[in-house]
Amino acid sequence: MNIRELRQIPLFSDVDEKIILKLIQENEIYERQYKKDTTVHSRGESCTMLDVVLSGKLVSYSLAQNGSENILFEFKTKSIIAANLLFGENNRYPFNIYSMADCYLIHLTKSAICELLKDYSFVKQFIRSLSQNSQGMNQKIVMFTQKSLRDNILDYLMALSIEQQSNTVMLPLTKKQLADYFGVQRPSLFRVFKKLKEEGLIKVNNREIILNKNIY
């Protein structure tokens, strides 16, 4: 494990290097590779460690009764997984966590977290991760309960435009995955995209979407 690479992650950036090295030597912190299309954690599995995404991309998803997937969160490089589960009374994963690409994860055992929580800089970053997870859940709740599919798609496209710094954005998900992300069937998603095209708000070329200025 590359200690310099590890210290690029905010969670470890200010932690005493001796503590990190000791935990690595004791195998309380270790790195593992997961291939694309691998279930890293299954729904109902006990959470015994904290995960940090070193590279790659993962999602958490649930299966609806009709067999469709509902994507709830995306985890990219430097994302923290299961910070809100590790010390809970009900510490079982509520969703499946799945690799969308080849990825490397840093696993930290509960003992390692207990040791690192003695360090104030780690505590600050750990609490920040808990807050971000909570905010992500709140945004998802709002998306499911208060906004129309049309509004959610527009918000998603505008967020991609800001992230990619262009009014021409590349969808990071397939149309099926995007439908799963919004918790709808593909025909419903296609109808909204068709309507937005007819209104002149977007142009679609496979996964490339051009946003009209009027969309903002």
Distance (Å, whole) CA 91 – CA 148:
33
pLDDT at position 112 over 90: yes
Residues 159-188 have a mean pLDDT of: 85
Confidence tier at 176 by pLDDT (50, 70, 90) = confident
Task: Examine the domain organization and report whether 78 and 120 are in the same domain.
Answer: yes
Pick the last residue of a domain from 110, 136, 162. 136
The larger pLDDT score, comparing residue 64 to residue 104, is at 104
**CATH number for 166:** 1.10.10.10
Task: Examine the domain organization and report whether 160 and 123 are in the same domain.
Answer: no
Output the pLDDT for position 174.
83
Residue (of 108, 116, 77, 93) closest to 40 by Cα position: 93
Write down the pTM of the prediction. Answer: 0.64
The larger pLDDT score, comparing residue 141 to residue 123, is at 123
Distance (Å, whole) CA 166 – CA 39:
33
Task: Examine the domain organization and report whether 122 and 45 are in the same domain.
Answer: yes
142 belongs to a structural domain: no
Residue (of 190, 147, 175, 148) closest to 71 by Cα position: 175
Output the pLDDT for position 71.
72
Per residue in 51-75, pLDDT tens? 999 999 998 876 654 555 667 788 8
Distance (Å, whole) CA 164 – CA 154:
15
Distance (Å, whole) CA 141 – CA 136:
9
Number of domains in the chain: 2
Task: Examine the domain organization and report whether 45 and 23 are in the same domain.
Answer: yes
| pLDDT-above-70 percentage for the chain | 88
Residues 24-53 have a mean pLDDT of: 94
